[in-house]
Chain A
Amino acid sequence: GESVGLHLPTLSVQEGDNSIINCAYSNSASDYFIWYKQESGKGPQFIIDIRSNMDKRQGQRVTVLLNKTVKHLSLQIAATQPGDSAVYFCAENMAGANSKLTFGKGITLSVRP
């Protein structure tokens, strides 16, 4: 979900388990969604995207699910590894000449060895 305080919400998972990171987006007109990963001291890195004409998209060890009815996006990471520890952002956009990505505030994923 989204963070409204000074500290990001944290998801702690055991190494090897699956992780599910959730995001509620705000604009029902959004038709393009992206998950980014940000490691400490680095810029956000593209993980996976999905367009509104799809409900699910799979990448390498990651799956994004989109539920347009409840405006919900999730990122599933299979067999979570220590290198997956980072802040994860969802972003939404809609097609248009002057449209810009809107980012969620992020969720920290912490992987326990």
Chain B
Amino acid sequence: IAGITQAPTSQILAAGRRMTLRCTQDMRHNAMYWYRQDLGLGLRLIHYSNTAGTTGKGEVPDGYSVSRANTDDFPLTLASAVPSQTSVYFCASSVSGTGLYGYTFGSGTRLTVV
């Protein structure tokens, strides 16, 4: 089934630890995105990639890094997790980053930093 796969589904992580959230899409979409979703704050963009080999910062990039080595994969890394990074993380993709197309979302990763 075409779409976006995120892993893990959920994780409890000790503060200070490093973690990578995985995201893979099989739709050959050029653009990919990482959002965090917090109650009352909605979906906030962390990082994005308009095409393989390029990345950009979103609204809340601090403490996170991304890479886009190929079209399909867009991992999000927390170098040293802090409790304020407790959230639900969604990966998304779109045909292009031109603003003319909607986004397809994954099912999310629920991360708790303790």
Interface of A toward B, CB cutoff 8 Å: 3, 5-8, 32, 34, 36, 41-46, 49, 89, 91, 93-101, 103-106
Contacts and interface: CB of A to CB of B under 8 A. Distances in A.
Contacts, number: 67
B43 A98 contact: no
Given A43-B90, A105-B40, A99 B102 contact: no
B74 interface: no
B56 A98 contact: yes
Given A44-B105, A98-B50, A32 B42 contact: no
B43 A103 contact: yes
Contact of B99 (A5, A43, A95, A103): A95
Question: What does DSSP make chain B's interface, helix, strand, loop or mixed?
Answer: loop
- Shortest 7 CB-CB distances between A and B: which pairs? A99-B99, A43-B105, A105-B42, A6-B40, A93-B99, A103-B43, A44-B105
A35 to B, nearest CB: 10
A44 B93 CA distance: 12
B45 interface: yes
A89 B102 CA distance: 13
Interface string B17-54: 00000000000000001000001111101001010000
B64 interface: no
A52 B29 CA distance: 24
Given A8-B40, A98-B97, A103-B42, 17 more contacts: A41-B108, A43-B90, A43-B107, A49-B102, A93-B99, A93-B100, A95-B98, A95-B99, A95-B100, A96-B98, A99-B98, A100-B45, A100-B48, A100-B58, A101-B103, A104-B42, A105-B41
Contacts of A95: 98-100
6 contacts: A43-B4, A44-B103, A46-B102, A46-B104, A99-B99, A100-B33
A45 B107 CA distance: 10
A99 to B, nearest CB: 3
